[in-house]
Structure 1
Amino acid sequence: MCSLEEEALLRLEEVFSATLARVNSLVLLPLLETTPEPSDPQGRECLRLLQRLHRSSQRLWEVTEESLHSLRERLCHQDTVGLESLLLLQHAERIVQVHVEYIESYTSCVVVQAFQKAAKKRREFWRGQRKALWQLLPGVSSEASVGTALAQALREPLAHHVQQYVLLLLSLGDTAAELHRTRELVVHAATLFGNLQSFLRQALDQALATQALWHSLSSRLRDVLCTPARRLLQDSQDVPVTVAPLRAERVLLFDDALVLLQGHSVHTFDLKLVWVDPGQDGCTFHLLTPEEELSFCSKAPQDRVVWQWKVTQAVCQALRGKKDFPVLEADLEPSEPPTCRCMAYTFRAEGRLCQATYEGEWCRGRPHGSWESRGPESRRALPRGTLKWPDGRNHVGNFCQGLEHGFGIRLVPQGPEDRFDCYKCHWREGRMCGYGICEYGTDEVYKGYFQAGLRHGFGVLASAPRAPQPCKYTGHWERGQRSGYGVEEDSARGERYIGMWQADQRHGPGVMVTQAGVCYQGTFQADKMVGPGILLSEDDSLYEGTFTRDLTLVGKGKVTFPNGFTLEGSFSSGAGKGLHTQGVLDTAAFPPDPSSTRKRQLGVGAFPVESHWQGVYGPFRDFVSAGCPGDEQEALLGFHVQNSRELRKSQEYLCCERTQPEPCADRMEGILDELLLHREPRALRECLRKALSNSLHPLGKLLRMLMLTFQATYAGIGANKHLQALAQEEVKQHARELWAAYRGLLQVALQRKGQAPEEDEDTETRDLQVHGLVLPLMLPSFYSELFTLYLLLHEMEDSLYSQGIANLSLFPDTKLLEFLDVQKHLWPLKDLTLTTNQRLSLVRNKCFLSATECLQKIITTVDPREKLEVLERTYGEIEATVSRVLGREHKLPMDDLLPLLIYVVSRARIQHLGAEIHLIRDMMDPIHTGGLCDFLLTALESCYEHIQKEDMRLHRFAGRWDPREPW
């Protein structure tokens, strides 16, 4: 049987549906039909609000009809249909939401007095409708205005209907069946409509208070502040409060903004960017905004509580994007708004951010957000903070307390040709600091370190390859200027300067290398060479004396020619007149050793190799001494970033899609753990090899920066034989620094694990590790440029050697063994297998074949240690062959070994053997000094020199030898 409450609900829905239909026909439709399209903005706004109210009323009528239909179905089929089938219970949230939309539409009309304005425009029409209108509202006084009557006609039926809903649902809950699910639905619906009743009452109060506020303000302020959706929450005229430092005359808290009125000035603060900071005393609290910090003070503590509570609630509501339901609870404990928010804001105050728009994360009134601190999902959804200025500047990156801090990219427009300066840098407190890459609109590119927004530390500045005057500087910077040790390459003039700089000019000791092979060394001042210096020509002629500022010989000097002659006197030159000299030519001096003449080297004594690249070593030392913080790894050691210039102005580029497989802190922790696990010699070698080959490892990054400096100094124009010693010493210094870097990382790893640090190494132990472990691992990175210098330095020797090899290759094996005075009982003739019509005297490249093939492997490696091992195995193959020939084990004395080794070397035909020998000698581990490897290398050097001097003997021997003569 149907309950009385259900029948009452049915009658209530029927009456409300009929009332809505009457209100629609008697009020809403006439309002819309009798309101012509106005020409003023306010009139158009009122019409838009009335149209919105009409649509809300239609949806409210439709949902009432649906509820009525479900009630009738229940009454007709009460035996089969349960109470929970009622739309009022099953979809209570949707029904309440429709009511809320109607209430919001209605209150917006109330705020701007849309009913009064509409009635005023068609006063005569509504006078004729007075009787019908008053029939809807029997309780309304006939003295009420038409506008008031219209407002009540659209409000009172709804208020009465919601009140009856609450009463009937509460009664239905008491009489409902004991089914738990049904009772839950009824109680839930009663609660929702109870809150709706409270919401309606509070929304009407706010709308009336807001309407009264607009009447109290001047028309200018009303035009600035009035919007239909805005509601007044608190007025300082009702609850007094003062605000510093603005000293506002009146404070208005709306549901979307805080407004301070100060004379004719209006200060508006978006609540989404307002943070409430409780004060220390009972009468003050603070509001933090992007550009102001406001102090709210009241004489009574309870007034401060009201303002703080209402502001906090309003901020929460603004961030949620919808009004609270109900609007304000009776509980005085508001929910806490989040400290971090993502919003957009345009700065107005004068300063560097004036008119700039920031979009991104905020914290306590300041842009604040870090890419690394977010998870993978938020990284994809929310890039980072973005700053955009009206002049076209853009900055995307990390922020800390309102300043650019961490990695960021900035685009700065340059000129009207749509060209940009692009800065991909690390920032600290708003200025570039740490490693960065800057691509300028002039097509110049700088890669290096910054400090306080200026180039500072190591960096490379290169012009475009096709620039009219291409130039590249690799070296140290101070406060934006080239200072300290650096290398500049001027491709247009075909010159490279290696040396000291000061205030963007060459200043101090330096070396100038030209493309023509001429080298200068001396002291530079204000970009010019002054005082005494050295000039070395490509043919090894040496000038020692003074120069003019344009590097021409002038004054007293001395020239030493390659043949040992010297010319000492006074030199001068004029335009187009060549070089003039008055002096003494000495031809009586003994000819110098040609090898010593060719090995004159520059730069070694001018500036210590330890001071060359402190701008590279320094940041790494600072990084290690700071404990290897992961968040500073990129700023100190460089980073990886997309390097496509076509993407410079695209959004993908601004979002900076860098290759970052894992957070830096986690990666650094793994690197340090790896070092602790591999400390045994064999494991350490493999660990260092992997580290140096990994561009993301600190040691790998350091090695690549050192490679860059080495190529900038010794490749191209800098490939000059007179720089070989300087390059060799620089490579060894890099090996020492890399070992020190490894030791520093290891100490940090031990410290993090709470283990005792290792004791400092003595010099001998350090040198053994450097030459035996680090140098072989890092040498391949420098080998190409370094070996080129050895080739140039020993070019003449290698040319004589090649000619000697060519002459010796004319001999068959037996004749060559005879020529080299190899004892005949050592000849491996029994190893030779003759074919038809072949004689022993004509066999080539068969004797000591295993030793020859072994020696040829010396060019397959760059490691000096492995080259010495090849030489040692070659010696072993020679002895093994001799022992087989003699039928017993035999140790070769030097007199027997040397001619056999010459034979093997001549048959191996190794190109540039002189360069190979000297590189091995210079770079080998000192532990081999005085041992077998040293002895064999000395023997190889003797073979090399012997082959160079065999030319005349070969011709005499060849004249006595007839190839047709049988052995």
Structure 2
Amino acid sequence: MCSPEEAALLQLEEVFSATLARISNRVLQPLLTAEPSDPQGRECLRLLQQLHGCAQRLWEVTERSLRALRERLRHPDAIGLESLLLLLEADHVLQVHMEYIESYTSCVVVQAFQKAAKQRSRYWRDQRKALRQLLWGLSPEGSMGTALVQALRQPLTHHVQKYALLLLSLRDTIGACHPARELVVHAATLFGDLHSFMKQALDQAEATQALWHTLSSRLRDALCTPARRLLQDSQDVPVTVTPLRAERALLFDDVLVLLQGHSVHTFDLKLVWLDPEQDGCAAHLLTPEEEFFFGSRNPQDLVVWRHMVTQAVCQALRGKKDFPVLGAGLVSCETPTCRSGAYTFLAEGRLCQATYEGEWCRGRPHGKGTLKWPNGQNHVGSFCQGLEHGFGICLVPQASEDKFDCYKCHWREGSMCGYGICEYGTDEVYKGYFQAGLRHGLGVLESTPQAPHPCKYTGHWERGQRSGYGIQEDGDRGERYIGMWQADQRHGPGLIVTQAGVCYQGTFQADKMVGPGTLLSEDDSLYEGTFTRDLTLLGKGKLTSYGFTLEGSFGSGAQRGLYTQGVLDMATLPPDPSSTCKRQLGLGAFPVESRWQGVYGPFRDFVRAGCPGDLQEALLGFHVQSLQELRESQEYLCCERTPLDDSVGRMEDILEEVAQHREPEALQQCLRKALSSSLHPLGKLLRTLMLTFQATYAGFGANKHLQGLALEEVKQHAQELWAAYRGLLQVALQRKGEAPAEEEDVETRNRQVHGLVLPLMLRSFYSELFTLYLLLHEREDRLYSQGIANLSLFPDAQLLEHLDVQKHLWPREDLTLTTNQRHSLVSATECLQKIITTVDPREKQEALERTYEEIEATVSQALGQEHKLPMDDPPFSLSLGWFSRIQHLGAEIHLTRDMMDPNHTGGRYDFLLTALESCYQHIQRDGRHAPLLRFSVEGLFADFPFPEVFELVTGVPAEDLPADVLIVHPLEEKRSAEPS
């Protein structure tokens, strides 16, 4: 059986449905037939159309509810109370009512009914009698617009109020165990809140409409919008505003407005902060460009304003009005300190007309955001207290179209500071450090190969200019400068290496060489004297070449070319080629420990700061593969980067690993992993050192006279890498609360550097370094290869006799090597060949030691007794030379010796290396001075010309053999013995 409340709900729905139908037909539809010509009239028409649509949806929902109630009354036993639309879909019914209320109040705020009524005034006069019953409160003198407002308000207000009362009554009548109990309670609460919300919304709409009449037309046009609602007026609750001295303060649901004479200050509530720490005598408000205080003589008035501003800001941030009631009671709450929003700066200054969109904190850009200027400049990245701070990408347009300077850098307090990569509209790219917005520290400036004047500078900068040690490669001139700079010019000691292999060393001033200098040509000719500023010989000098010395005054002219007046000494003995080709330049001119402080310095600063994770990325940059990636990042303003929290966590893991792996074997694995990782601080440091090394010694820098400079740098880098590891270890131990590691003595440090760090990092520099050794020992290696070819033509007995090997050490004629002995000889060959398969000097020395052991074992087996081979014994030298046949053996020997641990000097490895070097020198000398080589040709080749056959069989051109080597053709010997 149905309750009386259900019957009353049915009657209420029937009346409301009929009322909505009459309002739609007799009021809304006639209003929509007006054809306004002005913008305000068209806006009112749009709002009325929107209201008509909301009224139609409200009528449809009412009809559905009405049908459900009728079915319930007809079949009370079959259809339960919980099937009623008003209960089952209470949230949907509530939403439709709220949409209608919002649309209706928007029409009230802009007086849409009054304006539309004027368009159809004749219609309303003709329909006055028919509409009298519908338009409550209409009097003969009453305004038709006011009557229309009441006609739409009264039915809705009455209907919602009855809803709330009947649902409350229904809730009280049904039992606690009734299946529809929860639905009824929920619906009663919703529509009770709706009644309160509607009353406040209607009051705010009427107060906002009344406000517009108190303002000038200019202010009304600037402030009046349909969705805007007045929340507080300083004329109702007085406050003073300082220091702006505003005459009136208006708080709307979206903006705070301060009126000061003819000026209007509008503040978006999403970007208004109310300082919670301010005392009760004033309210401190913060905005992106202004900050001011609200004060009042009456403390209660100030409390009201603080509360209303807080509630309004919170509502604006949520993006919708509070339900059920905005600001019910004076419950304290705080506006969020950090929030997101967009704002265009208007005040004069750096940010004038710029729009910032992103995260804010207390009125300042703070966090991730985008800053855009009208001219196309924009900055995407991190901000701190209103300034660019952290990683960011900045695009700056150039005068020409479609050209931008793209800065991918770290910023500090609004300026580039730290590592950055910048691609300029001129197609130049800079990778390096900045300070106060200028290039400062280590950096690389490079132009594209297609540029009109391609060049590349790798070195130090100071306040935007090249200053300190640096390397510049000039593609047009085909030369590379290595040396000191000052104020963007070459200044101080320097070297120039040309593509033709010519080297200059001297002192530069204002970009030109001044005073005496040195020139080394490709053929090792040496000039010592003065030069012109364009590096031509001028003035006193001395030229030394093979077989002569020319000393005097040099000059040049357009017609005469190079000329000289001086003394030519032809009696000068030819210098030793091995000494002339090994002249080294730059040693002593650039102290190795001061060359690359721009690399070491930032790492030391990072360690001194305690290795903070947020600075790890700015330490030595982020990973960018190519210029193409830079262009893509410019186009999309994005780059793949590790979030800050992950970077902090990774730094903690790195330090923990450093602290745990301190035993020799574990330390070696730890360092190998660190140096091979592009994300590890040590790996970053190594890659930057590789960059400087390649910029100096690759390409034009691959000159044999720079080998000494390169060797110094590699050893210095190894020491710095070990010092960097020790620095990380001290920080790791400090964080764990452990005692710092003990100071190392010189011997211990050298042992760790040569035995641990150098083998691990040498691989990164080996290609360029070994190339320099190849060039430096090219002549010796060529003679060695020639000696091997010459000596290989000797029969065994003749070769032993030529080498003065004692007869008792010659192998017996009936000696037959066993399989194990042959395997031992093959094993020795393989051992020695391993010195060219590794870059580790220690492994090269161990391979040499294993070779010696294998040879000694083979000799002992062949003699049938244990035999110890002295390292300087001819058989051992012969064996080494014969087994090696290693291309570029001289380069391998000298590189291994130069990289040897000083603690091994005079030890077994040193003696073995000396023996191999002695063998190397013997083969050069003995092969070059062999008195007679017999070469027999039989069969098909006997009648061919000898030189061609000799080269075909031996692989050695006959004309390449030294002049003092005599080769006799057997057939020619016979012919010469026959009688004429």
TM-score range, shorter chain: over 0.9
Report the secondary structure of 2:180's partner residue.
helix
What's the % identity of the aligned pairs?
78
2:511 matches 1:527:
yes
**1:644 deviation in Å?**
5.8
1:494 to 453, 475, 478: 478
* Cα-to-partner distance string for 1:899-924 (whole Å, 9 max, x where unaligned): 43234413432111111111111111
Pick closer, same or farther for the CA change 1:320–1:429 going to 2, 3 Å.
same
2:525 matches 1:549:
no
1:265 to 256, 263, 266: 263
The whole-number CA distance in structure 2 between the counterparts of 1:740 and 1:558 is 45
Report the secondary structure of 2:667's partner residue.
helix
**1:31 deviation in Å?**
2.0
- After TM superposition, the structure 1 = structure 2 runs for residues 614-629 of structure 1, keeping only pairs within 5 Å, are 614-629=597-612
2:638 matches 1:655:
yes
Report the secondary structure of 2:931's partner residue.
helix
Structure 2: 5+ residue runs without aligned partners? 935-965, 974-980
Structure 2 partner of 1:158: 156
* Cα-to-partner distance string for 1:322-348 (whole Å, 9 max, x where unaligned): 111234243212443332222222222
1:783 to 748, 763, 766: 766
2:370 matches 1:386:
yes
AA in 2 matched with 1:860: T
The whole-number CA distance in structure 1 between the counterparts of 2:817 and 2:600 is 61
**1:65 deviation in Å?**
1.2
Report the secondary structure of 1:28's partner residue.
helix
**1:790 deviation in Å?**
0.9
The whole-number CA distance in structure 1 between the counterparts of 2:774 and 2:559 is 36
Pick closer, same or farther for the CA change 1:48–1:611 going to 2, 3 Å.
same
Structure 1 partner of 2:562: 579
Structure 2 partner of 1:378: none
2:544 matches 1:560:
yes
Structure 2 partner of 1:911: 887
Deviates more, 1:554-563 or 1:202-211: 554-563
* Cα-to-partner distance string for 1:924-945 (whole Å, 9 max, x where unaligned): 1112111111111111111111
Structure 1 partner of 2:499: 515
**1:319 deviation in Å?**
1.4
The whole-number CA distance in structure 1 between the counterparts of 2:832 and 2:924 is 19
* Cα-to-partner distance string for 1:160-187 (whole Å, 9 max, x where unaligned): 1111112212211111123265333222
AA in 1 matched with 2:19: T
The whole-number CA distance in structure 2 between the counterparts of 1:285 and 1:570 is 88
**1:538 deviation in Å?**
2.0
Pick closer, same or farther for the CA change 1:424–1:135 going to 2, 3 Å.
same
AA in 2 matched with 1:423: Y
Structure 2 partner of 1:278: 276
Report the secondary structure of 1:102's partner residue.
helix
Pick closer, same or farther for the CA change 1:453–1:181 going to 2, 3 Å.
farther
The whole-number CA distance in structure 2 between the counterparts of 1:248 and 1:175 is 57
Does the 8 Å CA contact 1:819/1:957 hold for their aligned counterparts? Answer: no
AA in 2 matched with 1:436: G
2:855 matches 1:857:
no
Pick closer, same or farther for the CA change 1:241–1:394 going to 2, 3 Å.
same
AA in 1 matched with 2:428: E
**1:610 deviation in Å?**
0.5
Does the 8 Å CA contact 2:624/2:630 hold for their aligned counterparts? Answer: no
Report the secondary structure of 2:347's partner residue.
coil
Pick closer, same or farther for the CA change 1:32–1:24 going to 2, 3 Å.
same
2:119 matches 1:92:
no
Report the secondary structure of 1:216's partner residue.
coil
Structure 2 partner of 1:126: 124
Does the 8 Å CA contact 2:365/2:384 hold for their aligned counterparts? Answer: yes
Does the 8 Å CA contact 1:828/1:848 hold for their aligned counterparts? Answer: no
Does the 8 Å CA contact 2:529/2:541 hold for their aligned counterparts? Answer: yes
Pick closer, same or farther for the CA change 1:83–1:393 going to 2, 3 Å.
same
The whole-number CA distance in structure 1 between the counterparts of 2:625 and 2:378 is 18
2:718 matches 1:720:
no
Deviates more, 1:637-646 or 1:662-671: 637-646
TM-score, normalised to structure 1, is 0.93
**1:655 deviation in Å?**
2.4
Structure 2 partner of 1:410: 394
Pick closer, same or farther for the CA change 1:732–1:562 going to 2, 3 Å.
farther
2:55 matches 1:54:
no
2:871 matches 1:888:
no
TM-score, normalised to structure 2, is 0.92
**1:247 deviation in Å?**
2.1
2:21 matches 1:21:
yes
Structure 1 partner of 2:81: 83
The whole-number CA distance in structure 2 between the counterparts of 1:697 and 1:72 is 76
Does the 8 Å CA contact 1:445/1:462 hold for their aligned counterparts? Answer: yes
The whole-number CA distance in structure 1 between the counterparts of 2:158 and 2:333 is 32
Does the 8 Å CA contact 1:828/1:881 hold for their aligned counterparts? Answer: no
Deviates more, 1:678-687 or 1:794-803: 794-803
- After TM superposition, the structure 1 = structure 2 runs for residues 592-671 of structure 1, keeping only pairs within 5 Å, are 592-641=575-624, 643=626, 645=628, 648=631, 653-658=636-641, 663-671=646-654
2:800 matches 1:817:
yes
The whole-number CA distance in structure 1 between the counterparts of 2:271 and 2:165 is 42
Structure 2 partner of 1:944: 920
Does the 8 Å CA contact 2:256/2:268 hold for their aligned counterparts? Answer: yes
- After TM superposition, the structure 1 = structure 2 runs for residues 8-407 of structure 1, keeping only pairs within 5 Å, are 8-33=8-33, 35=34, 37-137=35-135, 141-179=139-177, 181-278=179-276, 280-369=278-367, 384-407=368-391
Pick closer, same or farther for the CA change 1:834–1:426 going to 2, 3 Å.
closer
* Cα-to-partner distance string for 1:414-467 (whole Å, 9 max, x where unaligned): 233412211111111111111111111111111111111111100101111122
The whole-number CA distance in structure 2 between the counterparts of 1:758 and 1:834 is 57
Report the secondary structure of 1:954's partner residue.
coil
The whole-number CA distance in structure 2 between the counterparts of 1:613 and 1:122 is 87
Report the secondary structure of 2:930's partner residue.
helix
**1:846 deviation in Å?**
10
- After TM superposition, the structure 1 = structure 2 runs for residues 825-836 of structure 1, keeping only pairs within 5 Å, are 825-827=808-810
**1:201 deviation in Å?**
1.4
**Superposed CA RMSD:** 2.4
Deviates more, 1:430-439 or 1:66-75: 66-75
Pick closer, same or farther for the CA change 1:123–1:660 going to 2, 3 Å.
closer
The whole-number CA distance in structure 2 between the counterparts of 1:915 and 1:405 is 51
The whole-number CA distance in structure 1 between the counterparts of 2:967 and 2:433 is 71
**1:508 deviation in Å?**
0.8
Pick closer, same or farther for the CA change 1:55–1:354 going to 2, 3 Å.
same
Q: How many residues align?
A: 938
Does the 8 Å CA contact 2:803/2:874 hold for their aligned counterparts? Answer: no
Pick closer, same or farther for the CA change 1:222–1:650 going to 2, 3 Å.
farther
Deviates more, 1:885-894 or 1:213-222: 885-894
Deviates more, 1:536-545 or 1:758-767: 536-545
**1:140 deviation in Å?**
5.0
Pick closer, same or farther for the CA change 1:534–1:649 going to 2, 3 Å.
closer
Pick closer, same or farther for the CA change 1:283–1:812 going to 2, 3 Å.
same
Structure 1 partner of 2:736: 753
Structure 2 partner of 1:377: none
Report the secondary structure of 2:275's partner residue.
strand
Pick closer, same or farther for the CA change 1:652–1:342 going to 2, 3 Å.
farther
Structure 1 partner of 2:954: none
1:436 to 416, 420, 423: 420
AA in 2 matched with 1:553: L
AA in 2 matched with 1:901: S
The whole-number CA distance in structure 1 between the counterparts of 2:884 and 2:815 is 18
**1:661 deviation in Å?**
11
1:767 to 750, 757, 765: 750
**1:540 deviation in Å?**
2.1
Report the secondary structure of 1:445's partner residue.
strand
Pick closer, same or farther for the CA change 1:111–1:659 going to 2, 3 Å.
closer
Does the 8 Å CA contact 2:805/2:874 hold for their aligned counterparts? Answer: no
